[in-house]
């Protein structure tokens, strides 16, 4: 089980790091790289074209502003691609979101919320769980833990009144 995370800039790393944390929690191997669709396009494309042969099963692309990286990657691989729009200073990430989500027919990129790194990691786990049932069991446990945390908070609020 291996997921590649590509980011257009090292400034995206604080967001991407949360995705890595989720994947590590589920014992998924992670390869993280800084490869730009604009500054290192040949290297980004080369990485994506060789990813499957290198054992990668899902690619996550994080990018801000024009945010072409996930789409470029999706254009050259048949692996599932998940895009993380990174909040930019100009349009609060709306530019990134629209750049990633508005893909042409035939080139899908699953897209999470602006800075939604945790959900990108969880979506990658769910995609992998189709092949690896143990991930599905871990996902059930994770969701159960989330529900328990909410119920504890609910009980705490109810006890106040």
Neighbours of 11 (CB within 10 A): 11
- Backbone angles phi and psi of 88, in degrees to 5: -105, 165
pLDDT value at position 142?
97
> What is the Cα 150 distance to its own chain's centre?
24
- Predicted TM-score (pTM) of the model is 0.94
Three-class SS of residue 78? coil
Q: What is the structure's pLDDT at 79?
A: 98
- For the chain, the residue count is 161
What local confidence, expressed as pLDDT, does residue 88 receive?
84
- What does each of the 161 residues of the chain score in pLDDT, given as a tens digit? 999 999 999 999 999 999 999 999 999 999 999 999 999 999 999 999 999 999 999 999 999 998 999 999 999 999 999 999 999 877 899 999 999 999 999 999 999 999 999 999 999 999 999 999 999 999 999 999 999 999 999 999 999 88
pLDDT recorded at residue 102: 95
**Pair 153, 131: CB distance under 8 Å:** no
């Amino acid at each position: 089980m291996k997921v590649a995370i590509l980011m257009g800039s090292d400034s995206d790393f604080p967001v991407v790091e949360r995705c890595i944390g989720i994947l590590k929690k589920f014992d998924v191997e992670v390869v993280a790289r800084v490869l730009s669709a604009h500054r290192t396009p040949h290297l980004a494309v080369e990485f994506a074209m060789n990813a499957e042969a290198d054992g990668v099963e899902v690619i996550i692309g994080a990018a801000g502003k024009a945010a072409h990286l996930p789409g470029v990657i999706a254009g050259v691989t048949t692996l599932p691609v998940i895009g993380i729009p990174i909040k930019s200073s100009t349009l609060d990430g709306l530019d990134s979101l629209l750049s990633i989500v508005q893909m042409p027919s035939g080139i899908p990129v699953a897209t999470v919320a602006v800075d939604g790194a945790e959900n990108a990691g969880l979506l990658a786990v769910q995609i992998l769980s189709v092949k690896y049932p143990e991930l599905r069991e871990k996902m059930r446990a994770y969701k159960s833990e989330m529900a328990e945390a909410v119920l504890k908070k609910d009980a705490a609020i109810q006890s106040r009144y």
